[in-house]
Structure 1
């Protein structure tokens, strides 16, 4: 799965092969096919976010902001997988990218919105996930030197005040349409 995530992050769906994924994983293409069946099914598994969202949101609401930041940082620092950031790569995949984005909306954004109290929960969930995506992009893509040198607790101390109003529902309401 890690090899498939890296492959689909670097290459368009049409340019990604089972043979290349298998080679990077150090297994045979037949083994990949045995477990995933088709390249499309493997792609679908790469762009499924249920387990990632479960881990990301695994804290009570009063500690959720800190947990989300620390979880994201731990995963980024371990470089084992990119739990939420792989949605950024879905634009490479014209054929199936729409499904990946729909999965992300349902499994991550909507799941967070369902936990949030108060008005405008879907909007606040989108904004909170946006903050996390920005932080993750700084770590994974930009590799912001000053930020990545900070202790995770210090980063959490800086990001929690951005996230908590969004999660609690005490952020200003958006203007009426």
Structure 2
């Protein structure tokens, strides 16, 4: 008797990633171990005023994840559940830092489930050393010339220096 063909397990990790932080990278590394393919999907959120363009964010993510073979970087501008269906994914991965994150993400997961009952949302608790870290905090630190080395990858740090017109040795 032949074995049934196992469907590829695909997960989507959506976010703005403006910029991608070490907290995001922690979730990406851990989620990539759980699925056959992890699609890190940059949301083109029209209601936000991002520091980096969608193209810049996807490029920075490609550089940061180049060593993870089952991670794919993409972008979307649609309802998340439509994107999940388009990619034939089964799971949405969301990182949780705080109780406030959980309340917000639970509401989104409930809405997504009502729109697409086959898409499951999995919450991954952030590594405690990144529980305080957000893209907004990193941008503020960089804007005022603070050192962001421990919060982002070297490529992101360099890109932020260029955005804030700082010399490479200033921050």
- Is the TM value for this pair above 0.5? no
Q: TM-score, normalised by structure 2?
A: 0.33
Q: TM-score, normalised by structure 1?
A: 0.32
Higher helix share: 1
Higher strand share: 2
